[in-house]
């Protein structure tokens, strides 16, 4: 099974960006960890980050019928993007929405997600470890566990 791991704007700056909120782990470190974990779980992960809404939409479209699950941290687009939500609606595979921080204890504008209504599950506040937790859960979802 192939799992697409998508990260939105500014997540390429993890490690440097507001470390008190997002932690010190870089996106490369997260992705390398996921690749190792995927091997153990018998999965393949494809990792993609973009600062551009259109590039994320295009990547979600390209994944149509080519992936078995999607883990997405849409970052700021979570709170603004009907386009990403609509692109995800193409898919009939499990979708996990993930946030490093607990968006619900932050500013009110982060409480609204356009993605959660089309996601299978949502998780927030586990930091970088959340990606590993999401992949573990995804392994069960795609294998019918």
Residues contributing to the site for ligand DQA (CB under 6 A): 10, 73, 75-76, 78, 99-101, 103, 110
Looking at the Cβ atoms of 64 and 104, the one nearer to ligand DQA is 104
Residue 63 buriedness (CB in 10 A; 0-12 / 13-18 / 19+): buried
Q: Is 79 labeled as ligand-binding?
A: yes
| Residue 132 C-beta: closest distance to ligand DQA, Å | 15
Beta-bridge partners for 96: 71, 121
Encode burial over 113-130: b for 16+ CB neighbours within 10 A, e otherwise.
bbbeebbeebbbebbbeb
Please name which of 100, 123, 128, 126 lies closest in space to residue 25, comparing C-alpha atoms: 128
Instruction: Decide if 114 contacts 45 (C-beta within 8 A).
Output: no
CB of 127 to ligand DQA, least distance (A): 9
For residues 42 and 54, which CB has a smaller minimum distance to ligand DQA in the complex? 54
Nearer CB in complex with ligand DQA: 43/134: 134
CB of 105 to ligand DQA, least distance (A): 11
- Binding site per annotation, positions for substrate: 73, 79, 86, 100-101, 110
Which residue numbers are catalytic?
Answer: 22, 99
């Amino acid at each position: 099974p192939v799992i697409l791991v998508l990260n939105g704007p500014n997540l390429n700056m993890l490690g440097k960006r507001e470390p008190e909120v997002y932690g010190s782990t870089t996106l490369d470190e997260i992705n390398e960890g996921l690749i190792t974990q995927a091997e153990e779980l018998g999965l393949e992960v494809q990792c993609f980050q973009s600062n551009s809404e259109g590039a994320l939409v295009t990547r979600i479209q390209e994944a149509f019928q080519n992936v078995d699950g999607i883990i997405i941290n849409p970052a700021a687009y979570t709170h603004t993007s009907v386009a990403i939500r609509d692109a995800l609606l193409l898919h009939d595979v499990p979708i996990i929405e993930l946030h490093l921080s607990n968006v619900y204890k932050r500013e009110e504008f982060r409480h609204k997600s356009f993605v959660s209504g089309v996601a299978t599950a949502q998780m927030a506040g586990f930091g970088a470890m959340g990606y590993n937790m999401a992949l573990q859960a995804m392994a069960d979802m795609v294998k019918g566990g």
